[in-house]
Amino acid sequence: MIGRRPQHRIVDVHAHLGPYSLFFIPESDAATMVAVMDRTGTDVTVLAANRAIQQDAHLGNSQSLAAVDAYPHRIAAYAVINPWQEPEHELERLAGDDRFVGIKVHPSLHRYPVTGARYAAVWAFAESTGCPVLSHSEHQSPYDAPRLFEAVAERYPGTSVVLGHAGITPAGVDEAIAAARRYDSLWLEVCGSQMTGPLIRAMVDQVGSGRVLFGSDFPFIDQRMSLGRVVCAPLTESQRQDVLSGNARKLFRWRPLPGERGVGQ
Amino acid sequence: MSDDVTSGWFDARIVTGAHPASLLPPTDRDAIAAHLDRYALSGALVSAMASWLHDPIGGNVEASAIAHDLADHGVLACWTAVPATSGELDSLTDLVDRAVDDGVAAFRIHPASHGFSPALLIELYDALQTNRLPLCVDAAELSWPDLNTIATRFPELPIVVSNLGYRKLRELWATLVGHTNVFVDLVDFAAHQGVEWLAANDLADRLLFATGLGVRDPGESIVRLAWSGLDDATVRLVGSGNARRLLQGVRA
């Protein structure tokens, strides 16, 4: 019996906000997201507004900041950098506004490869500041297949890159694991509709529990789907707590998340 | 909130047998028994992976074997049907009669995977409606217009849609409000606040708890319902009450 009360403290490093045109999302607002977080034991969520990834990075980033302003102790924001929408301008905005704690890129949606020149400023900024970058990653994508991040890691070894969805498919997870084993700067995030507890266990076994992060994609997808896979996965309690929040607190050192200062700060 | 309401749920979908392209928990007899014990479940409806991915009719034996072996755990069988093509199946009515004799609690169809039109199963729908056996189907296995056609023509036939994903609420809503005999289970029911949204719109009696063990990670549905925004009474309704109303043989 699992009970109705969560047993872990959670940091969700992969979230969104607001509507998405392709399908209906009930209650995609920040207030409902925080209410869900209360039920699941989530202390902090780091989000990037759907408008920022889907249509307009600048306006969407403003929506993310409004959510931070409404819930400064529960929500932190990624600045979405779209390589086609004045990336340098949004990087300047990110640098000057400490409500942003990281960068989010979505190469598949923006149809531009992580190895392309238009992303170079992102990787250079992240390397020079310590700002973490969350990227969508998708097996066999010409824009963000896990193996492509090896070139980024090789060229920018000081840039912490989180492979969102860890490649998405089972074969993509294997590829993401291989990349993360070769490069310590690559982290794996566990949300995705094909993810399972045994796949998460494979990540922990082969990369170590110190670079696997909990994320959910909510409200794109309900947070409890991804959370259930981790909560019920065949992990030790120490490994599970690393994944659910410990590693996020280590990763976000540039601008620590609400509720606790980053490790080493 | 009471923790007690998270025990006694009926798992309305388990698929026994190996999955050829996923890394999932095992689903043999002992694994299913352990799953039921781990989550304090009152029973489950089990179909066969072989029926989906190898031998539609022959695989039913594997579902029934699990059901008979775990009858004391509240496990029931769900059989799979295909059209009565010569050499494959003599009669859908006979198939349903045999199923009833065997204690089968529901049927599943895979029109897309098995390559047939759902219009070829009229005899099956009629026999299921007569015997009050639900029809289960994955959202990807037939079109929404086909689903609506079946639900309209057989208004007393309960139809359980499974594996909805997170992108289908617009279609699901139209079908649920148009047909009181359509239900949806929690296997990959992944829309943010989708469960709470249906309940707030007086549709909680159309939701069935199910993990999809064998095709999904069971933790998804377990945590989805346990840590939902539903009140305790609604959790109990979705967890087991609706299944008890819908499926013959579900224990109280």
Looking at the complex, report in whole angstroms how far the Cα of residue A229 sits from the nearest Cα belonging to chain B: 5
Digitized pLDDT (tens) for each residue of chain B, 252 residues in all: 888 999 999 999 999 999 999 888 889 999 999 999 999 999 999 999 999 999 999 999 999 999 999 999 999 999 999 999 989 999 999 999 999 999 999 999 999 999 999 999 999 999 999 999 999 999 999 999 999 999 999 999 999 999 999 999 999 999 999 999 999 999 999 999 999 999 999 999 999 999 999 999 999 999 999 999 999 999 999 999 999 999 987 877
| Domain spans of chain A, in order of start | 10-251
Instruction: Give the pLDDT confidence score for residue A262 in this predicted structure.
Output: 41
Instruction: Give the pLDDT confidence score for residue A265 in this predicted structure.
Output: 37
Strand partners, A163: A135, A188
Give residue-wise pLDDT tens across range A203-248.
Answer: 999 999 999 999 999 999 999 999 999 999 999 999 999 999 999 9
Instruction: Give the pLDDT confidence score for residue A260 in this predicted structure.
Output: 67
Is residue B140 within 8 angstroms of chain A, CB to CB?
no
Q: Please name the residue that has the structure tokens 């352990």.
A: B34
Instruction: Give the pLDDT confidence score for residue B159 in this predicted structure.
Output: 98
Instruction: Give the pLDDT confidence score for residue B25 in this predicted structure.
Output: 87
C-beta of residue A115 within 8 angstroms of C-beta of residue A122: no
Reply yes or no on whether the pLDDT at A261 is more than 60. Answer: no
Of B40, B192, B227, the CB nearest to A28: B192
Considering the domain A10-251, what is its CATH architecture? Alpha-Beta Barrel (3.20)
Reported ipTM? 0.96
* A-B contacts at Cβ under 8 angstroms: 135
Instruction: Give the pLDDT confidence score for residue A255 in this predicted structure.
Output: 98
Q: If phi over 0 gives left and psi between -120 and 50 gives alpha, with beta otherwise, what is residue A19?
A: beta
CA pair distance B142, B118, nearest whole angstrom: 7
Residues of chain B with Cβ-Cβ distance to A165 below 8 Å are: none
CA pair distance A77, A73, nearest whole angstrom: 12
Instruction: Give the pLDDT confidence score for residue A263 in this predicted structure.
Output: 41
- What backbone phi and psi angles, to 5 degrees, belong to A167? 90, -10
User: Coil, helix or strand for B224?
Assistant: helix
Give residue-wise pLDDT tens across range A175-188.
Answer: 999 999 999 999 99
Q: Distances from the Cα of A239 to the Cαs of A180, A204, B95, in angstroms?
A: 17, 8, 49
Residue A31 vs residue B25, higher pLDDT? A31
CA pair distance B121, B125, nearest whole angstrom: 6
Best CA proximity match to A63, nearest among A113, A129, A19: A19
Chain A 193-232, residues with CB within 8 Å of chain B CB atoms: 193-199, 202, 218-225, 227-232
Of B167, B193, B235, the CB nearest to A222: B193
Is residue B190 within 8 angstroms of chain A, CB to CB?
yes
Tell me which fold the domain B3-246 belongs to: TIM Barrel (3.20.20)
Of A22, A28, A198, the CB nearest to B24: A198
